[in-house]
Amino acid sequence: MDGAPGDLFDRSQGLDPGAASDSVQGRPVQGPLQIIFNPNAAGGAGRKVLPDLERGLQARGLDYRLERTRRPGHARQLAADWNGAPSRRILVVGGDGTLHEVVNGLGRPGMDVAELTILPVGTGNDFHRMVVGTGDLAEVLDTLVGGVARSFEVGRARWEGGDDYFVNLMGIGLDVAVLRRRERFQRLPGLLQYLAALGVSVIGFQPLDISLKIETAEGDHLSFPAHTLLSAVTVGPSVGGGFLLSPDARPDDGALDLFVVDGLGLGGVIRHLPKVLRGVHQNVRGIRMHRIHRARIDVNEDVPLSFELDGELMSESTPWLEVEVIPDALRILEPPS
């Protein structure tokens, strides 16, 4: 998530940033709105919204501080620096990767109380597909003034040597290979970008031998091996800009959704890909789907797993991964309707 050199803007609009509280059109406010802005989201498309965003904020009399991300990990640092500030209202301008960093910067205690609003300008924007509303600028600005907070869960991933929260996706297998090749197709829109990278990645890709132990949402405990081309755990229904891996997934149902391609060869993946796009693959032999509270993945070979979280390729590899749901972890502002 590389960014241009950062500028810090302070638009007080006559309000005292140090005041204990104020009001904007009837909505209680604690200090200025904090904006984390990724100018390089979607290959630089993010920076195009800045002039209209600032005009809209000023027209609504909103007191705000805006800072641009300058490098990978900078959004996480900004969120950590602002954690505990008088204002806990944050507008994230970017995609799933930017939001991933912000949430991890806030940390578990901060996620309980911060109110987040999303202006989706990323490549896939799969998180925003869970949020009520269109995500256009005017609607987001109105949401900042009169929005209603809704609780979202997140996933927590643990591996040998680390842990992180994910707001929508943990993936292994083909998903990782696609991310490594997706930069070649940055001029394409999100879903086409993923499809093009998938077409290149699928050739010669070798399945992974893994073992899974899961606790389902119903409290059952299951263990099974899998010869998998792709496995993913999601909060919401879609990945990759619109693949409906888990079409019935909801971000507020207290569960994560596991999707495992098990024993389905490359030909089968290609044949059933249109069904996955439409979310009608529930009865396809070779695809397993479970609603879960937690899961553990162990590698049954010497090569450790590479994995991704929220579209960000993780630098570590690991012989095992554990995931669990963290209910009511985020407060997301949505339009009143």
Tell me the per-residue pLDDT of 37-87, one tens digit each, with 9 for 90 and over: 999 887 777 788 999 999 999 999 999 999 999 999 999 999 998 776 666
Beta-strand ranges (E) seen in the chain are: 8-11, 22-24, 27-29, 33-37, 64-68, 89-94, 115-120, 148-159, 162-166, 169-173, 208-216, 221-234, 256-262, 287-299, 305-309, 312-318, 320-334
Average pLDDT, the chain: 85
Tell me the per-residue pLDDT of 153-209, one tens digit each, with 9 for 90 and over: 999 999 998 999 999 999 999 888 887 777 777 777 667 777 787 777 777 788 999
Same domain, 230 and 85: no
Same domain, 200 and 97: no
Same domain, 131 and 200: no
Beta carbons within 8 Å of 173's beta carbon, 6+ residues apart: 205, 207, 208, 228, 229, 230, 231, 261
261-268 — which CB contacts under 8 Å span 24+ positions? 261/173, 261/228, 261/229, 261/230, 261/231, 261/286, 261/287, 262/224, 262/226, 262/227, 262/228, 262/286, 262/287, 262/288, 263/226, 263/227, 264/229, 265/229, 266/202, 266/205, 266/229
Q: How many CA atoms lie within 13 A of 95 on its CB side?
A: 26
- Rounded (5°) CA angle 264-130-147: 175
The verdict on residue 242 lying in a domain is yes
Same domain, 310 and 200: yes
Percent of the chain scoring above 90 in pLDDT: 61
* 96-113 helix and 74-82 helix, angle to the nearest 10 degrees: 20
Same domain, 116 and 170: no
- Give the pair of three-digit tokens for residue 191: 């879903």
Number of domains the chain is built from: 2
Structure confidence at residue 322 (pLDDT): 98
Last residue of some domain: 122, 146, 170? 146
Same domain, 129 and 267: no
The verdict on residue 249 lying in a domain is yes
Domain boundaries, position 290: 158-327
The dihedral sign for the CA sequence 314, 316, 317, 320: negative
Structure confidence at residue 61 (pLDDT): 93
Same domain, 234 and 302: yes
Tell me the per-residue pLDDT of 214-240, one tens digit each, with 9 for 90 and over: 999 999 999 999 999 999 999 999 998
The verdict on residue 1 lying in a domain is no
Q: 299: which strand partners?
A: 210
The verdict on residue 321 lying in a domain is yes
What is the distance between the alpha carbons of residues 31 and 12, in angstroms, rounded to a whole number? 10
Same domain, 142 and 174: no
The verdict on residue 335 lying in a domain is no
Same domain, 17 and 122: yes
CATH assignment at residue 25: 3.40.50.10330
Query: What 3-state class would DSSP assign to 164?
Result: strand
Same domain, 82 and 171: no
Rounded-to-5 percentages of helix, strand, coil across the chain = 30, 35, 35
The verdict on residue 153 lying in a domain is no
Last residue of some domain: 113, 146, 179? 146
